[in-house]
């Protein structure tokens, strides 16, 4: 089966529900990861005590990684390429 034929193939209700569930999960987890990344980048403004225990550059690097991963999860939820064969 050619790739063009696979893309035009109609999905059944079970597959549509699976795609919808995965997409919502990716959006939700993307928002949570991005929020955690933003929190870790700007931890000095929240006065939580983490900035005293850990180095500021370490928190910023880990926060940046979390932010990028969160944006990737949001992008993956937007693209919805879950049932593609590799």
Start-to-end C-alpha separation, the chain: 13
Alpha carbons 34 and 65: distance in angstroms, whole number:
9
* pTM of this prediction exceeds 0.85: no
CB neighbour list of residue 74: distance below 8 Å, 6 or more residues apart = 26, 27, 30, 31, 34
Provide the domain count of the chain.
1
On whether residue 60 sits in a domain, the answer given is yes
On whether residue 53 sits in a domain, the answer given is yes
pLDDT of 5 reads 54
pLDDT of 76 reads 92
On whether residue 71 sits in a domain, the answer given is yes
Residues 28-79 pLDDT 10s: 999 999 999 999 999 989 888 888 899 989 999 999 999 999 999 999 999 8
pLDDT of 86 reads 47
Boundaries of domain holding 51:
33-86
């Amino acid at each position: 089966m050619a790739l063009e034929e696979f893309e035009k193939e109609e999905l059944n209700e079970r597959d549509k529900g699976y795609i919808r569930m995965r997409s919502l999960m990716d959006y939700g987890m993307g928002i949570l990861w991005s929020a955690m990344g933003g929190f870790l980048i700007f931890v000095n403004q929240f006065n939580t005590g983490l900035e005293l225990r850990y180095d500021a550059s370490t928190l910023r690097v880990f926060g940046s990684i979390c932010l990028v991963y969160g944006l990737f999860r949001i992008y993956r939820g937007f693209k919805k390429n879950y049932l593609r064969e590799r």
